[in-house]
Chain A
Amino acid sequence: MKYSSSVRVTPSGIVLNEKRLAFASSGEDLLVEAYRKQIGDWPKFFKMDPLSKAGFVSSELLLSSEEPRKHDCEDRAVILYNRSGSLADDRIYEGTIRSKEEFYPSPAVFVYTLPNILTGEIAIRNKYYGETSFSVLEEFDPTTMIHGLESAFLDPMTASAIFGWVECGSEDDFDVCLFLVHKEGEGLKDFDEKEFLRIWKI
């Protein structure tokens, strides 16, 4: 496996292809600033839950250096993992139904109580008709994730994948490490567990 780009997004900053990007804000505001400065044409971003916001901005930055940017295809998968599933939004939804007296369940909040809504958001943005999958692990575990990625490439249709870790505990608590991985590719860097960990530790 090879990879063509990586992105590391935490509340304190964004590192794209091993270079730190300059932003003034941190936490949730960092995602909004990154959206405004680097993306800007997908207002649906503001309706997303915390997990999707973090994952969407990260995927957009990851793809920003792809030339030409792939669109409307079936051969790119989205394979993501985390620890909290959709708990950030689950807690928000639970707050809307907590008591019998204040019972205001909202479909717009409920729909995000599934982590694979994020993989759907990325598929919609890029018209990716390929495989999308979200799995939850007890902790960050590159061995299990790389196994899963190798497995995903067994689908003969899948030639590349947005792959990695998108953890989100709440609006201000996210930890993302994504790669654009290719089954094969000349001149690209090798992708393995060691490389995953190297970027993760940046």
Chain B
Amino acid sequence: MKQAVKISDNVISPLGIGTSENFLAIKDGKSALRLHSGAERDIPEDFCASIIDEDSLKEEYLKAGIPEDGYTPFEKRLMLSVSLALHGTGIDPSSDKVLFIISSTKGNVDLLHTEDPAGREYPGYSAKRVASFFGNPVPPVTVSNACISGLSAQINAVRELETGHFDTVIVTGGDIQSRFIVSGFQSFKALSKEPCKPFDAKRDGLNPGEAAATVIYSWKEPQKGDWVAVKGAIRNDANHISGPSRTGEGSFRALMAVLGDADRSDLAFVNVHGTATLYNDEMESIALSRAGLSEVPVNGYKGYYGHTMGAAGIMESVLSMKAVEEGVIIGMRGYSECGVSAPLNISADNRPASGTSFVKLLSGFGGCNAAMLFRKV
């Protein structure tokens, strides 16, 4: 039976260029979270974040044939990530059977601060430039579902393959932690001044993060060792535009839509959103508990990368695939004492993983929640 088979992936973050380099870094417990000066960005408060040094990518851009001028850092990072993911796959990105889906919460919004954004503030125009760089003729779709965008994009990708609209879908995403986003989260009092502590009793907020990540799916018969995006679901809390449901309603329903009453014994772990805000982690613990997943190991990567927004769903999915392949559950960095009302199976240290599948979970503003099941054949 044909399924959505992962062909390739890529992660670009302050911890490295490439999925393997990133995986090895977090396996070693390295974190990209640092204190950054607010004054440098005309923001009153300092903030703890994971920020890519744009200059460090110059050489990579050159190697990938990405021009220094004419594209914004947001566009260049996505282009580099796609370019590295495509390398060696034999996929022709200029085919009209290839679709680009972009996952970003704010794209080039930082350009609003400049005198003339020249149309680049429009997410669709920016996406078109990225797809056109690869000669792709199909109108790209930019998924804009807040923090679930990276899963939302992958769910759409699987469906576009299943309907036969396309043979291959290139999902790429990222965000730049501009003054716009950082000041907004500060106004919400959602940021921690220290590296975040997901699910911990002392957690006090999230850290913004920058990354670009890509995953490519094709519709084909999976071979042994292939990764399959089995099933995904998006559900709404129907409760509040910025606060999660107290019953974890949407997240619970998304989990149930994906797992149903199926046997969970093959799940190596659930990779949660785990932003380390009071409400998100509490909500996720309730949703997981209601879905009967209290015993399944739970982990998250925000303690290494912060919240990378448009990249999160893609990056955290492909890093989790790598972890299952290596038989390890990456520890929940920053966690030490349970701080949620529904206890879960969490460890700050790496643990051995058993099983060939995992669930990725995300939630975001607008009451949206997404769950997706991945399995290694």
Contact partner, B366, options A94, A120, A131, A155, Cβ 8 Å: A120
B238 touches A123 (CB 8 A): yes
- Is the C-beta of A100 less than 8 angstroms from some C-beta in chain B? yes
Q: Quick check: is A11 within 8 A (CB to CB) of the other chain?
A: no
Q: Which residues from B are CB-within-8-Å of A131?
A: 233-236
A128-B123 Cα distance, complex, nearest whole Å: 27
CB of A25 within 8 Å of the partner chain: no
Contacting residues, chain B, for A136 (C-beta < 8 A): 122-124, 127, 141-142, 144
Query: How many A-B Cβ pairs are below 8 Å?
Result: 176
With contacts A137-B124, A138-B125 taken as known, whether A116 is within 8 angstroms of B233 at the C-beta atoms is no
Give every chain B residue within 8 A of A50 (Cβ-Cβ): none
Give the interface size class of chain A: 35 or more
**Cα distance A128–B234 in the bound complex, in angstroms:** 12
Closest to B39 in A: A100
A128–B249 CA distance with the chains assembled, in angstroms: 11
With A and B bound together, what is the CA distance between A103 and B366 in angstroms? 25
**Interface flag for A66 (CB, 8 Å):** no
B128 touches A138 (CB 8 A): yes
Which chain B residues in 342-377 approach chain A with CB under 8 Å?
A: 364-368
Residues of B contacting A134 in the complex (Cβ-Cβ under 8 angstroms): 143-145, 366
Chain A residues with CB under 8 Å of B140's CB are 138
Tell me how far the C-beta of B112 lies from the nearest C-beta in chain A, rounded to whole angstroms: 4
Cβ of B144 and Cβ of A144 under 8 Å apart?
no
Residues of B within 8 A of A120 (CB): 236, 241, 365-368
Q: Mark A77-109, 1 if CB is under 8 A from B, else 0.
A: 010000111110011011001101001011100
**Which A-chain residue is minimally distant from B184 (CB atoms)?**
A110
0/1 per residue, B132-162, Cβ < 8 Å to A?
0000000111111110000010001001101
Inter-chain CA distance A155–B298, complex, in Å, is 26
**Does B365 lie within 8 Å of A154, measured CB to CB?**
no
Residues facing B in A103-148 (CB within 8 A) are 103, 105-107, 110-111, 113-121, 123-124, 126-139, 141, 144, 147-148
Report A-chain residues with C-beta under 8 Å of the C-beta of B13: none
Within the assembled complex, what's the spacing in Å between the Cα atoms of A54 and B112? Answer: 23
The reply to whether A129 and B249 contact each other, CB–CB distance below 8 Å, is yes
Chain A residues near B165: list those with CB within 8 A: 147, 150-151
- Contact across chains for B144 and A135 when beta carbons are under 8 A apart: yes
Residues from chain A with Cβ under 8 Å of B127 in the complex: 136, 138
Q: Which residues of A contact B57 (CB under 8 A)?
A: none
Name the residue on B nearest A48 (C-beta).
B241
Residues of A within 8 A of B63 (CB): none
A158 to chain B, nearest CB (A): 10
Q: Is A152 an interface residue (CB 8 A)?
A: yes
What distance in Å separates the Cβ of A160 from its nearest Cβ neighbour in chain B?
Answer: 15
With a cutoff of 8 Å between Cβ atoms, the chain A residues found around residue B163 in the complex are 147, 150-151, 154
Residue of B nearest to A110 (CB): B184
**Are A139 and B236 in contact (CB-based, < 8 A)?**
no
On whether the beta carbons of B365 and A117 are closer than 8 Å, the reply is yes
Q: Which residues of chain A come closer than 8 Å to B220, judged between CB atoms?
A: none
Q: A138-B124, A150-B163 are in contact. Are A113 and B238 (CB under 8 A)?
A: no
CB distance from A55 to the nearest CB of B (A): 12
Assign chain B's interface to a size class. 35 or more
Tell me the bound Cα distance from A87 to B145 in angstroms.
15
Any B CB within 8 A of the CB of A172: no
Contact B365 A114 (CB under 8 A): yes
Complex Cα–Cα for A90 and B121 (A): 10
B30 in contact (CB, < 8 A): no
Q: Is the CB of A123 within 8 A of B367?
A: yes
Asked whether, in the complex, the Cβ of B366 is within 8 Å of the Cβ of A83, the reply is no
- The complex places the Cα of A15 from the Cα of B184 at a distance, in Å, of 37
* Docked pose: A165 CA to B121 CA in angstroms: 19
Binary contact readout A55-66 vs B (1 if CB under 8 angstroms, 0 otherwise)? 000000000000
Determine the distance from Cα of A130 to Cα of B185 in the docked complex, in whole angstroms.
27
* A197 located at the interface, meaning its Cβ lies under 8 Å from any Cβ of chain B in the complex: no
A155 to B125 Cα, complex, angstroms = 29
Is B83's beta carbon under 8 Å from chain A? no
Cβ-defined contact, B235 with A135, below 8 A: no
B185 cross-chain contacts in A, Cβ below 8 A? 110
Partner of A83, one of B106, B122, B162, B242: B122
Docked-complex contact B141 and A148, CB < 8 angstroms: yes
Q: Which of B111-131 contact A (CB under 8 A)?
A: 112-113, 121-125, 127-128
- Residue numbers of B with Cβ under 8 A of A are 42, 44, 105-107, 109, 112-113, 121-125, 127-128, 139-146, 152, 156, 159-160, 162-163, 165, 179-180, 183-188, 233-242, 249-250, 253, 257, 364-368
A-B contact pairs, 25 of them (CB 8 A): A94-B109, A94-B112, A94-B113, A105-B187, A106-B187, A113-B106, A113-B109, A114-B105, A116-B144, A124-B238, A124-B367, A129-B249, A129-B253, A133-B156, A133-B234, A134-B144, A135-B144, A135-B156, A136-B122, A136-B142, A137-B141, A138-B122, A151-B159, A155-B233, A157-B233
A interface list, Cβ under 8 A from B: 74, 78, 83-87, 90-91, 93-94, 97-98, 100, 103, 105-107, 110-111, 113-121, 123-124, 126-139, 141, 144, 147-148, 150-152, 154-155, 157
